[in-house]
Amino acid sequence: MTSPVARRLLTVVCLLSCLLLATQSFAAPLTKVRFQMSWKHQFEFAGYYAAREQGYYADEGLDVDIRELESGETPLQEVLSGRAQFGHINSEIVLNRLQGEPVVLVANFFKVSPLVLVTSPDILSPNDLRGKRVMASANELQSAPFLAMFSYFNVSPRDFQVVPHSWSIDDFKQGKVDAVSVFSSNEMYFLRRDKVPHNVLNPASYGANAYDSNIFTSEQVMTADPTLSARFVRASIKGWQYAFTHKEEMVDLILNHYSTRKSRDALLFEANELERLTLHDVFPLGSVDPRRIDNLADLYISSGQAPANAKDRLLGFVQTPFSNISLSAEEQRYLQQHPVLRVGYSTRAPFSMFGSGEAQGFDIDYVQLLARELGSHLQFSEFAPEDLNQALQQQRIDIALNSGRLPEDGSLQQLPAYASFTLGLVTRANMDPVSSLEALQNKRLALLDSVYDAERLGRYFPAIHFVSCTDVSHCLQLVSRGQADAALGAMPILQYATQLHLYPNLSAAISLHSPLLEVENEQLSLKSDAGVLASLLQKAADNLIPQQLNQLQKRWISNLGSIDKALFTDADRQYIQQHNRVSYCSRSDWAPYDSQSNGSHQGVSADLLALFSSRLHLDFQFYPTASWGAALAALQDGKCDLLLSAIDDPAMQASGLRLTAPYLSIPVVIATRTEQHFVDNLSGVGNQPLAVLRNSPTMQALSRSQPQLRLFPVSSMQEGLRLVENKEVFGMLGGTLAIARAIQQGNFVNLKIAGSSDQRLDLHFALRSDEDALLGLLQRAITSLDSDSGQQARNRIMSSWNQVRFDQRIDYRLVWQVLAIFTLIALLLAWRQHSLHRSNRLLQQAHDELRQANASIAVQNQRLEQLSSTDALTGLFNRMKTDQLASSEAQLAELSQQPLSVILLDVDHFKMVNDRFGHPMGDKVLKEIATVLRRHSRDDDLVGRWGGEEFIVLCPHTSAEHAIALAERLCQLIAAHSYPHRQPQTASFGIATRQPGEAVTTTLARADQALYQAKSHGRNRVEFATPPFTAQPTV
């Protein structure tokens, strides 16, 4: 018999067992979910295998069926039909949404697409694909990565022979096709294993990064269970984190439980390649950048695959589960009852305005961030500033953006400020600089009625006469016309307005220093009884991270600054007021500098004149002529007031016309066959014939300055280059862009720009002798090009017409000469060493002393060399050393056929640091940034100070995508760093990856242009430069 204790113990065990069984029987069942793969089982889907095997899906209450793609199926069809809740797809999901499909993007894992073109070794760029056999599917050729890469080179599938894809690389290996589309994570393994000679055209190398490995669902699934996608994505992210840290384990899992289609080595190769494509050291796994989606949408629309107005369909497309706002039941009901929030705004550029068919600006983007956090849609309406509060009171809108002063009846409320900006003043140019209201005693100050309380200000500044204006443009016009002495406003608004319209008699905006008026706050206004909406908006605002607000600051505010203005005289101002139009003539057949098409003027000169038009407030009207002689006669007869592209030669001097300073200086280069060596100057050409465009400025200048040259006039660039190609002349002479454009358009693959001459073509404006005022204005406009903003504008114009790379090669004659010299030196050193060893023992002591002296000198020389190559302030390489390193690394990259990327960065608003805190503090900030760069760049990277507040990072063996990732990381680290002046500090980055045969100076110039784009697009950002032979869109 059992004892009482044993019976009680048995009873407890039975009760616990029953309780456990009951608990299990009442546990919530797992939600069944089907995930539709886009291909067969392989490491591309390892994150989802890991999430299931490790129980991450079960932890989220999900039972996930991971399903292979069968023949005739697509992930899109499976999800929209309801057979699958989630699908895996490439960038095509953006196109699907633009075409009206009800799909929702919930996560992205590969920031760079693995889709590349493998080509025969002789195909070095997409431009070389013309006339070749390319094996790829129609969908691949229309995919975002290939579309972007082809558009950069003005290439389309019509330019080559498309061969239907056999889904095998055997045709390429056997030479049946010249190029084949492959995945860098799959077929590339077999090409390398079998040592198949090939080249890779990677869209990412040209900045054409497209999202891949996207997880999507349907709007129906999102509506039925809003939490389902969040649970699925959270578990999948954990799965990918596990998969990348346990690659071999996941490979074994795939081979044992999913598929043996690929070998272990191939799967490990795929794992390493896919991890590289995630860029997870920079971007969080699963994250989606809305700007990338926007860029992809632009690409599909420009290619004609989606309607022009299709971007409206992107609203609600991206719904990543990263918001964690806790809402009350009342707040949830409000959102359900108000799915669309009505937002009112008035024009306050750059905060709010209407452009490109939609509301845009800093405030617009901010409220869209809040709506995204709440899952709401927005409807924008524009009002006059004085009507905005009334629209809110009448409940025509729910939210007003910065509605100005609130009515005194307490009917409206304002949420806490989400941004504050310094106030500033714009005055007439002939006034002394003013930075305080106290300095405006007995002056007239223009201000906005809807924003500033003139009555209140009048109590503090009774000697100021306040003038009312309706908007900022009206305020500035009052000052420009002499009806007010100064205008008051937020610095970004004043800066934006003065950039948009150059008022020659106004000063640049100056920050205001006044205890009464220091900042203007950006706030949302609501009705006072809208407590639930106020709570929702504040919760959404509290959930934003600083980087999101920084992005708005970079996009809309940080790129604003006072533009450089020439000094205008009274005669200048009078001329501008009296002359609405100025007619001009130009050459008709000198593309891309000056040409005519259907009566319109095109080219670099036309773009520069358009720039001057905006700066001078003059309307330049083109007067077409048939020839240069006709243009010159039209100027002399008074049919036009101005002549472009004039050169200072005896004929021009004898004409009695007056010339401005050069507005453009063009280097003359020579194009030869590719087998020719460098041409340092034209004296090395000897008596060989050189083609030159007949009656062009190039021919006129060279005939005068270098009469010994044997010039052969031709009617067109194409004719001259054909003569070079056929070896009938040694080379073709012309301006850099003209030669480059002709090589590109004529597809002269066996020609190159072999060097430059000592000649430069200086282009002037020519005017009649009675046009003193216009001459002075143009002189001042040309002078403005010497400023930083002017140089950037000119460089931007030149880059827009630059279509081809410079194919510079190593001069092996020079290499052999250098090797011979070094060999001689080595022999001399060896002989000296041998003689020293045979020296008499009696001289040993003297020899030792000499060696000690030499060692001391060597140490001193090493120190001197270090000093000569090191920047004294930051300890980084200085400009001279960096130039040497860039040149040597470019040569190594050319010889080894390895990529070389260049990162240029410029400290944002550094002048403000010096002005506010002093130059010693500015030096400390530069040293801190140098420390960040030195600590966080890689071992092989070479970091230098490029000059002033500019730095450079040379990245050997680094592709474009890795350089972008490094720059993004450095950009974030600089922004997050703590600086001695206790202020946030950011930097802008420009990146260029050297192309085969490209001169390092060209790579640096492209990086500098990308840096300018980063500055122009808002600062504190990274921009990648497309290759120099990119075909630019015509505006």
Distance CA 393, CA 380 (A): 16
Instruction: Locate the DSSP E strands across 74-183.
Output: 86-89, 103-110, 115-119, 133-135, 161-163, 179-183
Integer Cα distance of 440 and 764 in angstroms: 43
- Report the candidate in 361, 318, 321, 367 with the shortest Cα–Cα distance to residue 341: 367
Residues 143, 174 contacting (CB under 8 angstroms): no
Phi and psi at residue 371, to the nearest 5°: -65, -35
Pick among 2.130.10.10, 3.30.1360.10, 3.30.70.270, 3.30.470.20: CATH of 868-1024: 3.30.70.270
pLDDT for residue 257: 94
Q: Which of 576-580, 645-649, 859-863, 943-947 has the lowest mean pLDDT?
A: 859-863
The answer to whether the Cα torsion of 768, 773, 774, 780 is positive or negative is positive
> Using one digit for the tens of pLDDT, what is the confidence trace for 713-733?
998 888 999 999 888 999 998
Q: Tell me the two tokens of residue 559.
A: 């790129």
pLDDT of residue 901: 94
Whether residue 283 is predicted with pLDDT greater than 80 in this model: the reply is no
Query: 3-state class of 843 per DSSP?
Result: helix
Provide CATH code, domain 115-204.
3.40.190.10
Indicate the pTM of the whole model: 0.41
Section 45-70 average pLDDT: 95
| Most confident residue range from 561-565, 768-772, 799-803, 838-842 | 768-772
DSSP 507: P
Using N-to-C axis directions, what is the helix angle for 228-245 and 46-53, rounded to 10°?
A: 100
Q: What is the pLDDT of residue 1031?
A: 30
167, amino acid identity: W
DSSP class of 367: H
For residue 532, report the phi and psi dihedrals to the nearest 5 degrees: -65, -45
How many Å apart are CA 768 and CA 656, to the nearest integer?
8
Q: What is the pLDDT of residue 13?
A: 46
Task: Please check whether the two domains, 115-204 and 419-522, share a CATH topology.
Answer: yes
**Nearest Cα to 1007, choosing from 904, 888, 881, 897?**
904
Query: In CATH, what is the architecture of 332-407+528-557?
Result: 3-Layer(aba) Sandwich (3.40)
Q: Which span out of 36-40, 313-317, 429-433, 507-511 was modeled with the highest average pLDDT? A: 36-40
CATH 2.60.120.330 fits 31-111+211-311, yes or no: no
- The catalytic residue positions are 949
Give all strands (DSSP E) within 251-376, no chain letters. Answer: 340-345, 353-355, 358-360
Indicate the range of 23-37, 242-256, 425-439, 890-904 predicted with least confidence. Answer: 23-37
Most confident option among 62-66, 331-335, 885-889: 62-66
Section 491-510 average pLDDT: 75
Contacts of 230 (CB under 8 A, 6+ apart): 321
Q: What's the pLDDT score for residue 1033?
A: 30
Would you kindly state where each structural domain of the chain is located, as residue ranges? Answer: 31-111+211-311, 115-204, 332-407+528-557, 419-522, 868-1024
Share of the chain above pLDDT 70, in %: 82
pLDDT for 251? 96
Alpha carbon 430 to chain centroid, angstroms = 39
Single-letter code of the amino acid located at 674: T
Residue 900 dihedral angles phi and psi, to the nearest 5°: -135, 120
Residue-level pLDDT at 830: 55
Helices (H), 328-379: 329-337, 362-374
- What ranges make up the beta strands (E) of 277-317? none
Least confident of 181-195, 224-238, 479-493, 671-685: 671-685
Helix (H) or strand (E) holding 93: helix 92-98
Calpha distance 887→894 (Å, rounded): 11
Do the beta carbons of residue 671 and residue 754 sit within 8 Å? yes
Closest CA to 901 of 912, 889, 914, 913: 889
What angle (nearest 5°) sits at the alpha carbon of residue 655, between those of residues 653 and 659? 55
Tens-digit pLDDT profile for residues 411-435: 999 998 888 888 888 888 778 878 7
More confident residue, 246 or 814: 246
Instruction: Kindly state the helix (H) or strand (E) to which residue 773 belongs, with its residue range.
Output: helix 772-784
Q: What is the mean pLDDT of the chain?
A: 81
Answer whether residue 662 shows pLDDT above 70: yes
Q: Above 70 in pLDDT, residue 9? A: no
Mean pLDDT of 953-960: 90
Q: What percent of the chain has pLDDT over 90?
A: 31
Any idea which fold 419-522 has?
A: D-Maltodextrin-Binding Protein; domain 2 (3.40.190)
